[in-house]
């Protein structure tokens, strides 16, 4: 199995952990690293490339393509801006390769731990997937609230024989920041990167309107312990897959190799030539059904209770009026305070539900 990993240029690059991760999967493979930025520099220096060394030529001999973390996030210090521009113009060629049977694995593409929408748009197409924004636009220190070291597979993923060996998703290795950003990269990012990395994921995918996406995405992994409301666990999506003809695309906000997700990566590798064993179909119907059970049914029940109370009040108007003067008026002040607090909480809940 031929695996190609797209990474930064060598003069200033982020940590590259795919060699060790692939070896731990025990799947026979060959590994090749390629930098789109250095390919561009070769043209700039008027160096004629050797036959078979351009990326599309390499892709034709590749079974699995991996986009290393942040390698397409647009950062000019790492050459990621050139990779971003390349995918904007060559996306259809890559998707054609996927349709022919290729497997594409996209690690998280983020800046200051905030997923970069333009990176996912360049790779997959405008708004094909929607990613979360910052916790605070003016305080990057709060972004850690949208990062986590644990996740879990969904039921649909567990039902696939490819993922039968995958257990808990947890960052199995805390790495010093100097390992994630080898010198001189550490001097580029400075103290903003922190002292150590324990992230499994950085941000997540937003919930989208039905039929907004063109591919049939299936959620494979979610966060753990985000929020619960009306029997609905509001954990966010961090890994999705979509089958495309004979190939498939795994898209994530996760650091797969650095967190040592070897069994999960093994399942992705083994999907090559076996995409029929991946979970299929969209999630729109299931999402609508869950929404109806968890939200619509309680609302309808509440409306029915209000109507019944109104009928009872019509037959006992004098009693209701006298009671309301004594009891309900003092409660009005309390009710206003509760409503104001509830509106603030509801706004937060809506943002969490949409994954914004």
| pLDDT tens digits for range 65-91 | 999 999 999 999 999 999 999 999 999
323 pLDDT more than 90:
no
pLDDT digits (tens, 9 = 90+) for 137-193: 899 889 989 999 999 999 999 999 999 999 889 998 899 999 999 999 999 987 766
How many helices (H) and strands (E) are present in the chain, helices listed first? 13, 17
More confident residue, 99 or 310: 99
pLDDT digits (tens, 9 = 90+) for 15-38: 999 999 999 999 999 999 999 999
Task: Give the closest residue to 32 by CA, choosing from 49, 48, 52.
Answer: 52
What is the structure's pLDDT at 318?
Answer: 65
**Which of the four pLDDT bands, split at 50, 70 and 90, describes residue 346?**
confident
Of 52-56, 283-287, 352-356, least confident by mean pLDDT is 283-287
213 pLDDT more than 70:
no
What residue has token string 């968890």? 294
**Which of the four pLDDT bands, split at 50, 70 and 90, describes residue 334?**
confident
Q: 202 has which bridge partners?
A: 147
Q: For the chain, give the mean pLDDT.
A: 86
Residues 6+ apart with CB under 8 A from 167: 263
Enclosing H/E stretch for 299: helix 297-315
What is the structure's pLDDT at 65?
Answer: 98
Rounded CA Rg of the chain: 25
Asked if 109 contacts 116 with a C-beta cutoff of 8 angstroms, the reply is yes
What is the structure's pLDDT at 309?
Answer: 63
Query: Using CA atoms, how far apart are residues 162 and 273, in angstroms rounded to an integer?
Result: 12
230 pLDDT more than 70:
no
**Which of the four pLDDT bands, split at 50, 70 and 90, describes residue 46?**
confident
pTM, 2 dp = 0.81
Of 22-31, 108-117, 287-296, 307-316, least confident by mean pLDDT is 287-296
* Mean pLDDT value across residues 267-273: 97
pLDDT digits (tens, 9 = 90+) for 95-150: 999 999 999 999 999 999 999 999 999 999 999 999 999 999 899 889 989 999 99
343 pLDDT more than 70:
yes
3-state SS class at 101: coil
Asked if 111 contacts 75 with a C-beta cutoff of 8 angstroms, the reply is yes
What is the structure's pLDDT at 84?
Answer: 97
**Which of the four pLDDT bands, split at 50, 70 and 90, describes residue 356?**
low
What is the structure's pLDDT at 351?
Answer: 63
């Amino acid at each position: 199995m031929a695996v190609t990993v797209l990474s930064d240029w060598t003069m200033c690059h982020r940590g590259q952990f795919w060699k060790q991760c692939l070896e731990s999967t025990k799947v026979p493979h060959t590994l090749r690293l390629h930098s789109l930025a250095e390919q561009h520099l070769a043209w700039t220096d008027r160096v004629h490339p050797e036959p078979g060394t351009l990326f599309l030529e390499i892709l034709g001999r590749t079974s699995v393509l991996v986009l290393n973390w942040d390698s397409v996030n647009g950062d000019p210090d790492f050459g990621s801006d050139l990779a971003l521009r390349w995918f904007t113009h060559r996306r259809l060629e890559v998707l054609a390769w996927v349709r022919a049977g290729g497997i594409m694995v996209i690690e998280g593409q983020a800046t200051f731990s905030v997923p970069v929408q333009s990176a996912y748009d360049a790779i997959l197409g405008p708004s094909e997937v929607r990613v979360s924004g910052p916790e605070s636009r003016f305080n990057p220190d709060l972004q850690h609230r949208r990062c986590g070291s644990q996740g879990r597979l969904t039921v649909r993923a567990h039902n696939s024989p490819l993922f039968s060996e995958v257990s808990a998703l947890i960052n199995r290795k805390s790495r010093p920041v100097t390992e994630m950003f080898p010198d001189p990269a550490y001097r580029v990012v400075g103290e903003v990167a922190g002292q150590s990395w324990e992230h499994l994921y950085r941000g997540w995918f937003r919930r989208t309107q039905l039929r907004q996406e063109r591919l049939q995405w299936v959620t494979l992994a979610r966060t753990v312990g985000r929020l619960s409301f009306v029997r609905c666990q509001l954990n966010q999506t961090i890994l999705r897959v979509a089958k495309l003809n004979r190939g498939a695309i795994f898209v994530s906000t996760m650091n797969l190799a650095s967190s040592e997700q070897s069994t999960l990566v093994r399942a992705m590798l083994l999907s090559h030539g076996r995409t029929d064993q991946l979970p299929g179909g969209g999630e729109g119907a299931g999402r609508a059904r869950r929404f109806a059970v968890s939200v619509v049914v309680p609302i309808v029940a509440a409306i029915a209770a209000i109507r019944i109370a109104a009928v009872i009040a019509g037959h006992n108007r004098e009693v209701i009026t006298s009671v309301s003067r004594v009891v309900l008026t003092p409660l009005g002040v309390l009710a206003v305070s509760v409503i104001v607090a509830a509106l603030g909480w509801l706004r937060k809940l809506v943002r969490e539900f949409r994954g914004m």
